[in-house]
Amino acid sequence: MAVNVISSGLSTTVQDLGRPGYYHLGIPVSGGMDRFALRAANMLVGNDEAAAVLEAVFLGPELEFTAAATVAVTGGDLPPRLNGDGRGTWEAFPVKAGDRLSFGYLRSGARVYIAVSGGIDVPVKLGSRSTYTLGALGGHEGRALKAGDSLPLGAGAGAAGKGAIPAGLRRMPGSPAELRMLPGLYWHRITAAAGKQFFADTWKVAPEADRIGYRFKGGTVLDFVPREPPFGAGSNPSNIVDACYPYGSIQVPGGTEPIVLHRDAVSGGGYMMLGCVISADMDLIGQLQPHSPARFVEVSMDQALAARADRQAALARLRAHLGR
C-alpha cells in the first residue's frame, strides 16, 4: 500500500514531530514547521499525532493512491482537489485506489500538512521519520520528494476520518503576526534605545525564509554598546565567542536583519542572540510568506510558560472536538 508521487511541488518532505535529543551533536530537531497543523492533520485521519505526514511549501504535490485511505490537509489555505474536484482543508475525506490528489493556488499561509491514514512509513532514523535535507537524514532517502517516488503507508491506512475542524479551533498568524520573545543573554550588547525600537518596529519576512531560519527586514539597524572585542569574537559588534543557539533564537548579523532559527537550524555559531521566540509562537513563523509583516513582542518567562499552557489547552480542545 503506497502513495505515488506524480509531481513533487516546490519542496515537499516527510515530517513528523521531530528528533529531539541530538542538538548537542549538531543534529537539529527537524519535524513540522507548524506542529499544531501537523497534529491536527493526523487527528483527522485517525493517526497517532506524531505520525509522519507530508509538508508542502507554497506549491502542492500531485499524489496517486494505490489503495483506499483517508486524507486530510491542514495548515495554509492551499485548496486540495481530488480527481480535479475541490475538497476542503482541515477536514477528512476518503480516497480510493487510482485517485489523484492535487492542489490549486495558495491563498494564505505558507505550508500545508497532508496526512494519510496509516502514516507515511519511511524508515525511522534517530527516533524520527523527519527529513533533514542538509544532512541527508531521514524522510525519503534524506531529501525532498521528486516525481516517481513511492511512499509506503503504515498499518491502518483504511481508517475512517474524524470529520472537520472549525475555524475557531485552528491557529494561523494575524497581520502583522505577533511573535512573542524572551530577551536573551546578549540583550545587554545593544543600547536601551535600540532595544525599545526593536519592539516598536514592524518587520517584514525576507525572501530568505525556509526551514533553517526566517530573516526579517525593514526595521531599524541596531545600535550596539561599545566594547573591546573579546579574543576569538571578531571585530563586528554582533560577533561573540562561539555559543550554542537555542531553537527559536534570534541572531542579528551586523545588527541589520534579525534571523529566527527554525527546525533545521545549526546548533551554534558566532553571532549574538537577542533572545528567543517562545515555543508557542514558532508554528506561526512557519506559516509566514515572504513580505508578511510581523512584530516582536517582549514577554516574561511567566508569560511564556502561560502561553505554552494555553497552547496545550488548545490541543486538548481539538482532541475533545474530534473525540480523541
Between 317 and 155, the more confident residue is 317
Q: What is the DSSP string of 207-264?
A: EEESSSEEEEESSPPPPBPP--PPTTS-SSTTEEEEEE--TTEEE-GGGTS-EEE-TT
- Within 10 angstroms of residue 296's Cβ, the number of other Cβ atoms is 26
- Which letter, b or e, does each residue of 155-186 get, where b requires 16 or more Cβ atoms within 10 Å of its Cβ? ebbebebbebbeeebbbbbeeebebbbbbbeb
Give the rounded percent of residues in the chain with a pLDDT score beyond 70.
99
Rounded to an integer, the average pLDDT of 260-283 is 95
Cα separation of 154 and 50, whole Å?
13
Angle between helices 301-321 and 35-44 (to 10 degrees): 10
Q: What is the pLDDT of residues 101-117, one digit of tens each?
A: 999 999 999 999 999 99
- Between 213-217, 236-240, 276-280, the lowest mean confidence (pLDDT) is in 236-240
The predicted model gives 39-63 an average pLDDT of: 97
- Please state, for a pLDDT cut of 90, what percent of the chain lies above it: 90
Q: Which residue has the cell 507515511?
A: 120
Give the number of other Cβ atoms within 10 Å of residue 11's Cβ.
17
Which DSSP letter does residue 305 get? H
CB under 8 Å to 130, separation ≥6 — which residues? 13, 14, 15, 16, 17, 18, 19, 30, 31, 32, 52, 138, 139
Residue 78 scores a pLDDT above 90: yes
Helix, strand and coil content of the chain, in percent to the nearest 5, comes to 20, 35, 45
Q: 291-320: per-residue pLDDT in tens? A: 999 999 999 999 999 999 999 999 999 999
Q: Would you place residue 231 in the very low, low, confident or very high pLDDT band (cuts 50, 70, 90)?
A: confident
Better-scored residue on pLDDT, 36 or 267: 36
Give the pLDDT confidence score for residue 1 in this predicted structure. 81
The answer to whether residue 45 scores a pLDDT higher than 80 is yes
Q: Average per-residue pLDDT in the chain? A: 95
* pLDDT at position 159 over 70: no
Residues in the chain: 324
- For each of the domains in the chain, give its residue range(s) and CATH number, in order of start: 2-166 (no CATH), 177-312 (2.40.100.10)
The answer to whether 32 and 17 are in contact (CB under 8 A) is yes
Write down the residue that cell numbers 559588534 correspond to: 237
